[in-house]
Amino acid sequence: MVLGELKKIRDSKRVTSKIITLLTDFGYRDAFVGTMKGIILRINPWATIVDISHGIDPGDIQAASFVLAQSFSFYPSGTVHVIVVDPGVGTARKAIAVKTEKALFIAPDNGVLGRLYAAQEKCVVREITDSNLFVHPVSRTFHGRDIFAPVAAHLSVGVPFASLGPEIHDYNRGSSKLPRKKAGTIIGEIIYIDRFGNLISNISQADFSGKEIRSIQIKDIHLDHLSDSYGEKNVGEALAIIGSHGFLEIAVREGNAGVKYGIEIGCEIRVFICR
């Protein structure tokens, strides 16, 4: 798309207050997030920018994928989601745009959209190659500013999704692990630890729906039932509960389960069910 056409789109009545969300590992100490917002507002001053999170641990693609999966469906149709957790910035990894029935996603092609792909029956993925949409010169280390933010802003003012670049099918679908089931046991692992220290597993409520739980085991923790609330236990005691995300989590009432029990991402968790 040529620059003259971009100017016509920006100056037309198609400019709207479309929502653009940001999900990054940038934190707030530096100017990264504020700079991306400046770029977006320079292109579309009417954009509504929403921070999903900037507290993802640096380079933690799996955590970003989980946080995105738990949040994007709550936004209005037409929202543009920008995800910048990009340890491969400056390498040959592609910049991509994904269109689903209700939203658009701008991200590096590094698996960060893996859970999105798993949840969506229909999506179109394009490599972003139209450099007219970028901020120049494009740096080697800050594609959030130079590629992802401006592309999202241009989409919000009406630049056609199909003009971003060619459709691709060899994109990185991620590596989300599913729990295993054998001999009355569901074997999963911890995939995310939230800021409260709650240990969130990849075992969903649907994995044992209708079955009676005999016990839940993770490291030295043994629990014999699911709790309905954190308040069922005394302060400092461990419990198992289905969180708002629909997955089994291990928590400590008014405490940090990850710190108390020394449990990290990838730790195995077992649910024993009555056959």
In this prediction, residues 85-97 reach a mean pLDDT of: 95
User: How far apart, in whole angstroms, are the C-alpha atoms of residue 52 and residue 160?
Assistant: 25
In the chain, the percentage of residues whose pLDDT exceeds 90 is 83
pLDDT at residue 10 is higher than 80 = no
Mean pLDDT of 14-36: 90
Q: How many domains does the chain have?
A: 2
**Where among 163, 193, 214 does a domain terminate?**
163
User: Cα–Cα distance between 50 and 67 in angstroms, integer?
Assistant: 14
CATH number for 190? 2.40.30.90
| Residue 1 pLDDT | 54
pLDDT of residue 120: 86
Domain containing residue 88: CATH number: 3.40.50.10790
Please give the Cα distance from 96 to 152 (Å, whole number). Answer: 11
pLDDT confidence of residue 182 = 87
Q: Which residue in 213, 204, 194, 186 sits closest to 251, CA to CA?
A: 194
pLDDT at 210 over 90: no
Residues 185 and 71 in one domain: no
Taking 50 as the threshold, does the pLDDT of residue 203 lie above it?
Answer: yes
For residue 239, the enclosing domain spans 180-273
Tell which wins on pLDDT, 195 or 9: 195
Q: Residue 115 and residue 63: Cα distance in Å, rounded?
A: 11
Q: Is the pLDDT score of 25 beyond 50?
A: yes
Whether 22 and 97 map to the same domain: the answer is yes
2 band by pLDDT with thresholds 50, 70 and 90: low
Q: What is the pLDDT of residue 135?
A: 97
Looking at the structure, tell me whether residues 16 and 123 fall in a common domain: yes
Instruction: State the chain's mean pLDDT as an integer.
Output: 92
Per residue in 116-148, pLDDT tens?
Answer: 998 887 999 999 999 999 999 999 999 999 999
Other C-beta atoms lying within 10 Å of the C-beta of residue 127 = 17
Nearest of 253, 265, 180 to residue 218 by alpha carbon:
265
pLDDT, residue 13, reads 47
Question: Residue 170 falls within a domain, yes or no?
Answer: no
Q: For 168-192, what is the mean pLDDT?
A: 90
| Whether residues 212 and 142 fall in one domain | no
Domain boundary among 129, 163, 197: 163
* pLDDT over threshold 70, residue 153: yes
Least confident of 6-10, 81-85, 227-231, 255-259: 6-10
- 193 and 101 both lie in a single domain: no
168 occurs within a structural domain: no
- pLDDT tens, 50-89? 999 999 999 999 999 999 999 999 999 999 999 999 999 9
Residue 177: which pLDDT band, with cuts at 50, 70 and 90?
Answer: confident
Q: Verify that 130 and 211 share a domain, yes or no.
A: no
CB atoms within 10 A of CB 172: 18
Residues 6+ apart with CB under 8 A from 209: none
**Higher per-residue pLDDT: 28 or 121:** 28
